[in-house]
Amino acid sequence: MSVKRCGECGGPVYTRIFRRWNSDGTVTGRLSSGVRICHIEAGEVCAMVEGISARIGYHIDRIVVEGERKASRNITNETLSPGHGLVGLVGRSWGGSPVSLKIILAISRSVGFGSPEVLKYIRGRELKLRVENPFCVPIVVGDLWGAFEALHRITADVSWEETPGAVKIDLVKVRDEMVEEHPDRLALQKMATLPGDVGFDRCPRCGIPREVTGSIEWDLDAGVVKNRKTGRREVTVMVEAVNAVISELTAELGDEIPGMVQQVEQEYIADMMKDSRLPNTISEYEALLEELRVMGMGNPVEVEKEGERLEVRVNNPFCEPLLAGRVGGYYEALEGVTPTMTWTPDEEGYTIIKANPS
């Protein structure tokens, strides 16, 4: 029987192998040149996709699929590159690629994307899957599509069919090599980072922070990750894919898109906290923002509150409008009023978020 979890803390083995918690408030892939990932409630991601679709009047599923595909291609291709030892040397070989596919699907379970089952696999040509418990169909489809292409260095077509509690995905090769039909679209932007001194109480055996294993439970068979405290489902997503989708929507539809993202997130967070009855003190805001670090969302380094005005500086933010929405949701829940939110773009490794009563 394969070892799926750390014998000390119970964290999944693939979480340890492929993920690194850094002292600057980021979480990155170990084998993929600092590709950023973050942990987030599944409902937040679904709310963003559904909320933006509702506001603009059409579904953004295809853009989400393409953004996730590009990010998944990137991280899988880099992980399987020759510079990564045995993984790079044999991962794409005739005998190694089926093993790599099993690892890719196991990682999908460990990050909470659902439970994929292979229905048909012809190496380098075709892959049919059924995924139970998909948390967000467009992201799950894009993730597996990009990984299949990168594993075999091909370009594939995709089709999918949703059924109750599951999705069937068909991937079929259309040409050799990974072709970018529109390389300027959904471009993945590397992000500037500032140093930090965030410390974690790590498991001595696997190195996963105990803040993670103490608050999260993994059902690796179902591919579902839940927060022990809230009972809500959580997932790990690629930061570059989230930002690429928002940038693409902004380019297509206008500068109001980031504001829509912020508003959708604020509404979600405020609704989740509506019965919390927390005090509106600066220490409470600091406590709420503390979780950003272990989730890989950034490093909150300054929190100021003067009267009804709140200002937060976050170094290495994962996504400015989503962070502004989160801070706005905290403000709405603690202050009892809907705030007006502003934030600065992350151009030098930080953003400053301000909340004021409307």
Pair 242, 189 in one domain: yes
Q: Residue 185: its pLDDT value, please?
A: 62
Pair 301, 215 in one domain: no
Residue ending a domain, choose from 253, 286, 318: 253
Q: Residue 257: its pLDDT value, please?
A: 95
Pair 222, 249 in one domain: yes
Residue 175: which domain range?
Answer: 1-253
- Taking 60 as the threshold, does the pLDDT of residue 307 lie above it? yes
Pair 123, 259 in one domain: no
Pair 292, 184 in one domain: no
Distance CA 151, CA 38 (A): 23
pLDDT, one tens digit per residue, over 77-92 is 888 877 655 455 577 8
Number of domains in the chain: 2
Q: Residue 89: its pLDDT value, please?
A: 55
Q: Residue 191: its pLDDT value, please?
A: 79
pLDDT, one tens digit per residue, over 323-344 is 999 999 999 999 999 999 999 9
Q: Residue 199: its pLDDT value, please?
A: 94
pLDDT, one tens digit per residue, over 34-90 is 789 999 999 999 999 999 999 999 899 999 999 999 889 988 888 887 765 545 557
Do the beta carbons of residue 73 and residue 160 sit within 8 Å? no
Pair 90, 213 in one domain: yes
Residue ending a domain, choose from 225, 253, 281: 253
pLDDT, one tens digit per residue, over 11-34 is 998 888 888 999 999 999 876 667
Pair 174, 232 in one domain: yes
- Taking 70 as the threshold, does the pLDDT of residue 255 lie above it? yes
- Taking 80 as the threshold, does the pLDDT of residue 232 lie above it? yes
* Structural tokens at position 191: 């992000």
Pair 246, 282 in one domain: no
**Mean pLDDT score across all residues of the chain:** 91
Pair 92, 24 in one domain: yes
Domain of 296, CATH number, reads 3.30.1380.20
Distance CA 292, CA 132 (A): 29
Give the torsion through C-alpha atoms of 268, 274, 280, 281, to 10 deg: -70
- Taking 80 as the threshold, does the pLDDT of residue 315 lie above it? yes
Q: Residue 272: its pLDDT value, please?
A: 96
Distance CA 167, CA 129 (A): 8
Q: Residue 179: its pLDDT value, please?
A: 82
Pair 172, 237 in one domain: yes
Distance CA 202, CA 208 (A): 5
Residue ending a domain, choose from 203, 231, 253: 253
pLDDT, one tens digit per residue, over 107-164 is 999 999 999 999 999 999 999 999 999 999 999 999 999 999 999 999 999 999 999 9
Q: Is 199 exposed, middle or buried (0-12, 13-18, 19+ CB in 10 A)?
A: exposed
Pair 40, 99 in one domain: yes
Pair 140, 23 in one domain: yes
- Taking 50 as the threshold, does the pLDDT of residue 1 lie above it? no
